[in-house]
Structure 1
């Protein structure tokens, strides 16, 4: 579970509710089922209209990815690449063949299989770069759906508020009912803005950010495979792969353990 997502949403709700309470309000008064139905499903449907069907499916399929901790471990992947590099230097590329079935990543397995089969290194690089581009486009399209839905929410909130005001103004002969109607109308605005900036929009941005982990892992694998195919020194190859680490990530050399 990715606590940054859960805690971020939770703290946002707590902060908003605390401010409302301190101002003498009741946060439960912001919960309005009619406003929710007007804003959220309509925004999601509108985003669906503006997004390719394949990416809409991907958006809901990858929703769990937003809330789960990223399974990518760059250090372990580099260690695995360096182990294969050592084997290839010692036993030749064919020495890697028995290890193919132990690879848990299809991208890595495909690239290493092409290397063992003696495919030209330029062709390997081109093929794997295409796969990386397609993966990046897949996640970008999925994230775009949620971001577009988030951007649509405030507008749907405005529409809901106007609809509520129209109904409220029809009750001029009942000031109490009219005031309740106006208050209910403005909950649509709150729902739209909160949906955009506290929930749906952040989901899209988080999906885009976390997809970078998968893309970066594939870039590391590509560089590792090209290094293995070229017969690079394992220690030098490890140093090259460490360049993909961010300043916040700790590097542990396999040769210094």
Structure 2
């Protein structure tokens, strides 16, 4: 569980609600079905038009990474790779065959299988890098779904405010309705700006960070496997991979 993300979203809600109360607007002023429909439903409609189905589906598959990113222990992974290099030095690359089925990660399993099969190091590098590149490209496109939502939401908030003001203008003959109508109109603007800056854009940024971290870990795996294939000394492999810890 990413405690920073959880704390962030709690503080965001507290800032919004607390600010409304401290300013004297009250909590009730933050609720507007009309603003919700225009801004939130409108943003979802826009993103559905904007995004390919596969990308949209992937976006909501990975959104959980904001609070629970994929488990990662680079130090343990480096130790594992060094252990494999020791096995390869003692028993040859075929000695790693028993390690293949023990790996839960499909990428790691594929790389080890290539080692066992005797794939040339440069060919192995190209094949694995293509997989990393394509996975990163696909996941970043999914993260940009939330970035786009953060762009659309404020604009739709302005549209909601304008629509609200149009409704107010129709009631100019009744001054008792003007104050409430203007306040309700600007609620849509709050929905748009707050959802973009406290939710959608931070989610996109966090997902991008997680995705880049995952790609960096896979690059480390590639370097380790290539070093094993080239018969490098285990100590040299460990020293090289330790650079990925920073």
TM-score if structure 2 supplies the norm length?
0.96
1:235 maps to: 235
2:58 maps to: 58
Contact 2:114 2:124 (8 Å CA) reproduced: yes
Supply the distance in 2 between the matched residues of 1:242 and 1:34 (Cα, whole angstroms): 55
After TM superposition, list the pairs within 5 Å mapping 1:145-224 onto structure 2. 145-224=145-224
2:40 maps to: 40
RMSD over aligned Cα, in angstroms? Answer: 1.3
Q: CA offset at residue 23 of structure 1?
A: 2.6
Which secondary structure does the structure 2 equivalent of 1:62 belong to? helix
Q: CA offset at residue 45 of structure 1?
A: 2.1
Give unpaired runs (5+ residues) of structure 1: 247-257
Which secondary structure does the structure 2 equivalent of 1:35 belong to? helix
Q: CA offset at residue 21 of structure 1?
A: 2.7
Contact 1:48 1:145 (8 Å CA) reproduced: no
1:123 maps to: 123
Contact 1:72 1:213 (8 Å CA) reproduced: no
Moved runs in structure 1, 4+ residues, more than 6 A?
none
1:17 maps to: 17
Supply the distance in 2 between the matched residues of 1:102 and 1:131 (Cα, whole angstroms): 21
Number of residue pairs the alignment of both structures matches: 246
Q: Which is worse superposed, 63-72 or 89-98?
A: 63-72
Contact 1:36 1:188 (8 Å CA) reproduced: yes
Q: CA offset at residue 61 of structure 1?
A: 1.1
Q: CA offset at residue 52 of structure 1?
A: 2.5
Show CA shifts across 1:7-56 (max 9, x none): 10111222233333333231331222221121012112212322222211
Q: CA offset at residue 106 of structure 1?
A: 0.8
Show CA shifts across 1:115-155 (max 9, x none): 11111111101000000101110111010101001111100
Q: CA offset at residue 160 of structure 1?
A: 0.4
Show CA shifts across 1:72-108 (max 9, x none): 1111111111111110011110100011111121111
Q: Which is worse superposed, 183-192 or 53-62?
A: 53-62
Supply the distance in 2 between the matched residues of 1:188 and 1:19 (Cα, whole angstroms): 16
After TM superposition, list the pairs within 5 Å mapping 1:32-111 onto structure 2. 32-111=32-111
Supply the distance in 2 between the matched residues of 1:20 and 1:177 (Cα, whole angstroms): 21
Q: Which is worse superposed, 92-101 or 65-74?
A: 65-74
Q: Which is worse superposed, 47-56 or 168-177?
A: 47-56
